[in-house]
A and B are shown apart, each in its own frame.
Chain A
């Protein structure tokens, strides 16, 4: 529970400390040795002027009627943007419920278990920042260090929380080492990534250990797999221009769609995709 609370706290930090973070944590373009590097357009980075302009230009194109029950959200979006809230922040916030619905789809239609809603939501946001391939690579490194830490600690008879804490320490060290050598290796430009996505990935691998310690390796693997699928889908959806447009220009409609989807999932009592294989032998004569 503490972890969940911490996660919520981190999401809030992540979403509401943009101006501060831009100054303290975001890499200074002037220090980068090669100024010719093109900074990729990222919707999690408030500093990416290109993305911001494009989204706000979209808003400017839209003509709003007088305030009424069917456009109050549109008006609030406009109001917030005018007061200086970045449009990409609004998109991330408004698309979070979609990831919640995705968790439902993956669990009840496909049959893959996950780590709840917070974990996929956070990792989807992380993937937005790192790119999906880069994020998966980073996650692989973190996960391997988690498993190694678990193996190393097996012999010592430590209590549950201290063991988790030491695992976390080992992960932090390995990630730090990776970050330190990554520019010279030229794998992915990790220096472009702020600290929060990395923290989220560390938390996911920590969750992986928790399940592995409490339950079994196989359930930890399948849960991590499910979480990553949801995160990848969520990140792609958040990055998709059509959904960005929908949520920014027609927030009411997007919310109604998500609501309808959730009600449908909530009442669905039929087969899951993976159950077809499970019960195949029962169906055969």
Chain B
């Protein structure tokens, strides 16, 4: 689906990581304790902290039995889920617990593990580390059919304050309840517009099916909807505003049934397998997001949904068959109030992006600053620089809803107030009639 130039490779990722993230930003993301502090200060929900161990004294003095529910032990400086223990519940006797994979551990095991982590066994470069004990977020009921071992999370890659790609990560037996792909978790690509899964990856290989524990059979990986999608994207964008100096990162969010999205950690060097389960290249999206200026959180989410959302053309084609459009078609444009305005549009496969008349867009209230995704600069025939707004627009053509980004240009001297380019013509067949469009218009 993607071409070679569109894919973000490790070398290119490391370059962006170095360029876009300041030293402070990287340090915050690399330390789970620091991230937690910064995020909760900004009012972003994070898992409740039970304890932080800074030295062996703290570990020795901690009474594990007083923890009521299930919990997670995490080395602060580890990456890729290393050294993370997910404790499911208390075992029969006090001072014993079950890990999510069914192993029984005692308080001495926990203590030993924490001391090991404090000495830097899991941290980068083997430096002394801190250890966090925090509450375990319960698996959202929606995801219970895919895993019982650990909580699935949603990884959203943010660049320049705009979500560019996302995936749902489902822990497996093999990954011991952890959602890291390197540990053997399954990744499902997510459409940014809707939060619906597209493709899947396991061990860097594309997968077609995933086991449904409730229906006890293998089902397709696509078409699973993540609840509270908009809220998830908003929370991820808020993280980029909260952590100064972090421009390129992956935010990992849990979805709690009662509290909504909760940010677990930020990763300044997110893994690249997300491209496999989205069947899309990150690099091309990063280039697109590069110069954009989001006005606020909602605006950033809107930009992401419009620019990076899937069109699902193939799926629609399969369901409804190909629809035929003529050169002139009447489309219905959705106005801000939710009403639909009929507009005459020219179908033009010579243009890439659709455009709408500037004055008409203004009249319909589409030029609201929050609806303008970005400005495109172009040079006209008279060598003057122009700024052309690109706006989010939803219109209906032959009964199909098309959510897209269109140019707002001056079309007052033209016959049609709107032009539909080939980006929005997937699944349509253009019939070149009437031949003389001018005559027919009059």
**Which residues of A pack against B, CB within 8 Å?**
1, 108, 111, 157, 159-161, 210, 213-215, 268-272, 275, 278-279, 281-285
Contact = CB atoms under 8 A, between A and B. Distances in A.
Contact of A279 (B11, B112, B125, B276): B276
A160 B117 CA distance: 9
A159 B205 CA distance: 37
A281 B121 contact: no
B126 interface: yes
Given A268-B11, A281-B205, A157 B108 contact: yes
A228 to B, nearest CB: 22
Contacts of A161: 119
Interface of B: 1-4, 7, 9-12, 15, 82-83, 108-109, 112, 115-116, 119, 121-122, 125-126, 204-206, 272-273, 275-276, 279-281
Given A1-B126, A160-B121, A214-B82, A282 B281 contact: yes
Give the 3 A-B residue pairs with the shortest CB-CB distance, closest first: A281-B206, A269-B12, A269-B11
Contacts of B83: 214
A270 B1 contact: no
A212 to B, nearest CB: 11
Nearest to B8: A279
A272 B115 contact: no
Contacts of B3: 283
Given A278-B204, A285-B1, A272 B9 contact: yes
Given A213-B121, A282-B7, 20 more contacts: A157-B108, A159-B116, A160-B116, A161-B119, A210-B126, A214-B82, A214-B83, A214-B121, A268-B11, A271-B11, A272-B10, A275-B9, A278-B276, A279-B9, A281-B279, A282-B275, A282-B281, A283-B2, A283-B4, A285-B1
Residue among A268, A270, A278, A282 with max Cβ neighbours from chain B (10 Å): A282
Contacts of A269: 9, 11-12, 15
Contact of A159 (B82, B119, B281): B119
A41 B299 CA distance: 72
Nearest to B123: A214
Contacts of B204: 278
A214 B108 CA distance: 20
A282 B1 contact: yes
A274 to B, nearest CB: 10
B275 A270 contact: no
Contacts of A215: 82
Given A161-B119, A282-B281, A283-B3, A275 B10 contact: yes
A108 B15 CA distance: 12
A256 B12 CA distance: 26
A270 B125 CA distance: 27
A159 B115 contact: yes
A214 B348 CA distance: 59
B7 A279 contact: yes
Contacts of B119: 159-161
Contacts of A1: 125-126
B22 to A, nearest CB: 20
A279 to B, nearest CB: 5
A108 B11 contact: yes
A42 to B, nearest CB: 35
Given A157-B112, A159-B119, A160-B116, A282 B10 contact: no
A210 B116 CA distance: 13
Given A214-B121, A214-B122, A281-B206, A272 B281 contact: no
Contact of B276 (A213, A272, A281): A281
A281 B208 CA distance: 12
Contacts of A283: 1-4, 7
Nearest to B113: A157
Contacts of B10: 111, 272, 275
Contacts of B276: 278-279, 281-282
Nearest to A108: B11
A269 B279 CA distance: 21
A277 B182 CA distance: 17
B279 A282 contact: yes
A28 B109 CA distance: 53
